[in-house]
Amino acid sequence: MMDSRKTVRVASTILATLACSWMCAGALAQSDPFQLASGCKLPFANIATKPDPYVQCGNCGAVERPQPGHPSDAKAKALQSQAKNNLCADTSQVTAVDFATLQAMGATAKSNGWETIDLDSRTPLHGFYEVNGRKIGEGDVVRLKAWILGAHVSDCTSTEMGEAVNCNVQGFANNDLHMPLLDPSGNRTQDECTSVTAEIIPHFRPAAWANLDMKTPVKNVVRITGQLFYDNAHRPCNAPLVHTSATNKLLAPYRSTIWEVHPVYQVEVCTKSDPAACDVNSSDTTMWVDYDKWIAQASNASLTQATGQRQRSGCPAAKPNPNVEPNKCVADSTAYLRNE
């Protein structure tokens, strides 16, 4: 027979477990559901996973509960999260960019004082940099030709509780796929500090894209189309090839600029083995093939690698963080961010 002290300990453990389960479930249940802006057409609607498998995490994610003496950064986080979750940018105007352009945009942003963790308004990030006679910035749709260095689930290890934008929930299906991209004018052995980042978010993520970390094209360049996003939560490498230094270890994941393609709207693979023969502006459907169609061809399996296998195998099952709460979206002067 169990003694009274052991009975109390077991009962306490059961109650604590149940309390945690209720708190964790409630953390997402209280959030406004994820929604697309009125009139928005999902850019990858024909292959999207519907309904949204992560609808319970709202457009503005989560935020840590404020601690005494530590003011909340909820507003800045809300603005950043709703920008990261923007699947409704204008796809009628797509601007081709290259690595030099995105790096120059990063240098300009830094000189303007935007390289700071908290931005109370993201309005200055819009339409500030001219490319081919058109001013672009955060929220504009761009197209980039690149090698994929790798693809892996982001912020999902036994010690990481996911990202604020994804409600700080562990689990592969609840977090971004992070892709460091490399300049196609060089080879795929370039240092990650020279890379540009692209992110595939969990909302509506197509099944084929969800497998990109296990079937990453490594012999052909890709064309990534998506929204420009300024990830001011990170910092670029101080210089290429020095990311093993103590200073740059603090900057991981490494990149040459904190301008990203995030979220990704389209992934295409070039059918030509020579990157120089892959015109980023071409509409030739025999040159650029959508990734979901390209990977469905059995002959292309040998052109891929499981670049994100280690991160996927180390990603725990879904586990909400009880120390965060749903973040409230706030209005910015740019209408497309409001998701009203």
Report how far residue 146's alpha carbon sits from residue 181's, in angstroms, rounded to the nearest whole number: 6
Report how far residue 40's alpha carbon sits from residue 56's, in angstroms, rounded to the nearest whole number: 19
Higher pLDDT, 133 or 251: 133
Rounded to 5°, the CA angle 31-33-35 comes to 140
Mean pLDDT of 139-152: 98
If we measure between CA atoms, which residue out of 18, 28, 12 comes closest to residue 321?
Answer: 28
Quickly state the pLDDT bin for 242 (edges 50, 70, 90): low
Domain edges within the chain: 89-321
b/e per residue 125-155 (b: at least 16 CB within 10 A): bbeebebeeeebbbbbbbbbbbbbbbbbbbb
- Dump strand ranges (E) for the chain: 62-64, 94-96, 129-131, 134-136, 141-148, 152-153, 177-182, 196-200, 216-217, 222-230, 259-270, 288-290, 304-305, 324-326
Quickly state the pLDDT bin for 333 (edges 50, 70, 90): low
184-188, 301-305, 323-327, 329-333: lowest mean pLDDT where? 329-333
pLDDT score of 339: 36
Q: List, in sequence order, every residue forming a beta bridge with 267; answer none if it has no partner.
A: 224
Report how far residue 260's alpha carbon sits from residue 253's, in angstroms, rounded to the nearest whole number: 13
pLDDT over 80 at 4, yes or no: no
Q: Which long-range contacts (CB under 8 A, 24 or more apart) does 64-67 make?
A: 64/164, 64/323, 64/324, 65/323, 65/324, 65/325
If we measure between CA atoms, which residue out of 102, 178, 170 comes closest to residue 140?
Answer: 102
pLDDT over 80 at 150, yes or no: yes
pLDDT score of 208: 98
Mean pLDDT of 148-166: 93
pLDDT over 50 at 15, yes or no: no
Quickly state the pLDDT bin for 247 (edges 50, 70, 90): low
Q: Which long-range contacts (CB under 8 A, 24 or more apart) does 40-44 make?
A: 40/87, 40/88, 41/88, 42/87, 42/204, 43/87, 43/91, 43/225, 43/265, 43/266, 44/204, 44/206, 44/265, 44/266
Task: Collect all residues with Cβ–Cβ distance below 8 Å to 207 and sequence separation of at least 6.
Answer: 47, 49
The CB density around residue 116, as the number of other CB atoms within 10 Å, is 10
pLDDT over 80 at 102, yes or no: yes
Mean pLDDT of 163-176: 95
Higher pLDDT, 94 or 65: 94
Query: Cα–chain-centroid distance for residue 180?
Result: 11
Range from 69-83, 206-220, 306-320 that averages highest in pLDDT: 206-220
66-75, 127-136, 156-165, 184-193: lowest mean pLDDT where? 66-75
- State the greatest distance between any 2 C-alpha atoms of the chain, in Å, as a whole number: 82
pLDDT over 50 at 122, yes or no: yes
Signed CA dihedral, 235, 238, 243, 248: sign only: negative
125-139, 180-194, 231-245: lowest mean pLDDT where? 231-245
Supply the pTM of this predicted model: 0.88
pLDDT score of 332: 79
Q: List, in sequence order, every residue forming a beta bridge with 270; answer none if it has no partner.
A: 288
Quickly state the pLDDT bin for 97 (edges 50, 70, 90): very high
pLDDT digits (tens, 9 = 90+) for 47-88: 999 999 999 999 999 998 876 656 668 999 999 999 999 999
Fold of the CATH domain 89-321: OB fold (Dihydrolipoamide Acetyltransferase, E2P) (2.40.50)
Quickly state the pLDDT bin for 93 (edges 50, 70, 90): very high
Range from 7-11, 65-69, 226-230, 326-330 that averages highest in pLDDT: 226-230
**Mean pLDDT over the full length of the chain:** 87
pLDDT digits (tens, 9 = 90+) for 17-50: 333 333 333 444 456 899 999 999 999 999 999 9
